[in-house]
Amino acid sequence: MFVDKAKICIKAGDGGDGAVSFHREKYVAAGGPDGGDGGRGGDVIFVADNSMSSLLDFRYKRKFIAPNGENGAGKRCTGRSAQPLVIKVPRGTLIREAQSGRIMADISDDAPHVLAQGGRGGKGNQHFATSTRQIPRFAKPGLPGESFEVTLELKLLADVGLVGFPSVGKSSLISVVSAARPKIADYHFTTLTPVLGVVKLNEERSFVMADIPGLIEGASEGVGLGHEFLRHVERCRLIVHVLDVSGIEGRDPKEDLRIIDRELANFSEALAQCPQIVAANKCDLATEEQIASLRTYIEGQGLPFFPVSAATTEGTKALIQAIGEKLAGLPPVRVYEPEPIPVALPENGQKFEAEKADGIYYVEAPWLEGILRTVNMEDYSSLQYFQRVLRSSGIIDKLEEMGVQEGDTVNVCGFAFDYVR
């Protein structure tokens, strides 16, 4: 089964928590804090795999979660950082953020692409000892890893795209000029998936040709199969229109060319500007008058015209040589650049919501939950640290703006206490 679109969730690993520990050893007085740092969470990395030709693997598995970093330990031991989660996708896969639609990566080269970074490990209490705070009973938690819902969209990497109506001979043509062996039969929509073939010009030069399943009128609006596969033409450097010059299907090749051009333009303005060559197939079944009439029309449009017969291979060598010469002067296959995040995130992600209900001030801040886990409410210095976090993040200022008074109850992420100035 050919699948070229999928939606998945990726989650990088969380950083490990820093440790609260104190050095205790016989004959060593006042060993001091020795809590180690937490390890870094694993990244989520995408790489291209040439052995994959479809996104079928992502139809049934939709959640990919990297491992978390290990927590720190005593004796200044740092937790182990987690291994990255490597996800293999077909070459040419475009990754977008599902919510905003921005391009995050184009997996077209051999470089690994980090899509979600693992969280940093938290600092152990060894880092918080000062001359006035010699027994810090708190540490910092690890930061959460990045998470995204992304869409995977496969856009085939091909230099040349064969386009045309069903049964004009695209599959036959690619089968005689390359090693590709698509299904060939005497009925419409024989080809249900794009087919790639490598065409060799000589020992040193070659190019990739794609047989795009038959387009029909209205393809850009979802009619027929074309709307599913028009995206695979977007990367092509050159478009080859395959027309049935014989008209044995009862179609007018001139009108077919106009319809296909219109559908390509409706789908993408870039496709309308793509260089084109016309291959008039089935010339062995056409009359000289038919070929001459179509040649006059095509060349009048400023397009190169090549009469060919996929059945007898007549004219195919001349067509391939012309394609090779045309490609030599064209830019390389298009690669999409990642797009920046459209909206700037708050500094350190310190967003919170505050409201008053039944005389109690409620504060919700997901990023604060990890800090609460490491705060020792029975230790004065630890409480001071927690108070500084509330002040620096703007929570205290917001509560005072809302009219909080000394002795009022404040509930922060489920932890309730009396407000004290």
What's the CATH number where 129 sits? 2.70.210.12
Could you tell me if 43 and 147 lie in one domain? yes
CATH number at residue 399: 3.30.300.350
To the nearest whole percent, how much of the chain has pLDDT over 70? Answer: 87
Same-domain check for residues 43 and 178:
no
186 or 391: which leads in pLDDT: 391
Structural domain harbouring 405 = 348-418
CATH number at residue 180: 3.40.50.300
Q: Is residue 341 part of a domain?
A: no
- Residue 342 domain flag: no
Res 222 pLDDT > 50? no
Are 305 and 173 found together in one domain?
A: yes
Residue 97 neighbours by CB distance under 10 Å? 17
Determine how many CB atoms are found less than 10 A away from the CB of residue 36: 25
**Cα–Cα distance between 137 and 142 in angstroms, integer?**
16
Same-domain status, 301 and 176: yes
Number of domains in the chain: 3
For residue 56, being part of any structural domain is answered with yes
pLDDT given at position 391: 86
Average of per-residue pLDDT across 113-120: 92
The dihedral of CA 184, 188, 194, 200: what is its sign? Answer: positive
- Residue 59, pLDDT > 80, answer yes
Q: Last residue of a domain, which of 109, 128, 155?
A: 155
Regarding pTM above 0.85, the answer is no
- Last residue within a domain, chosen from 124, 155, 186: 155
Question: Could you tell me if residue 65 is inside a domain?
Answer: yes
In a domain, 335, yes or no: no
Residue 61: how many CB atoms within 10 A of its CB?
Answer: 9
Same domain flag for 173 and 278 = yes
Residue 122 CB-density burial (10 A; 0-12 exposed, 13-18 middle, 19+ buried): buried
74 and 90, same domain (yes or no): yes
Torsion of CA 239, 245, 251, 255, to 10 degrees: 50
CA–centroid distance for 370 within its chain: 29
Let me know if residue 177 belongs to a domain. yes
Q: What pLDDT is stored for residue 37 in this prediction?
A: 95
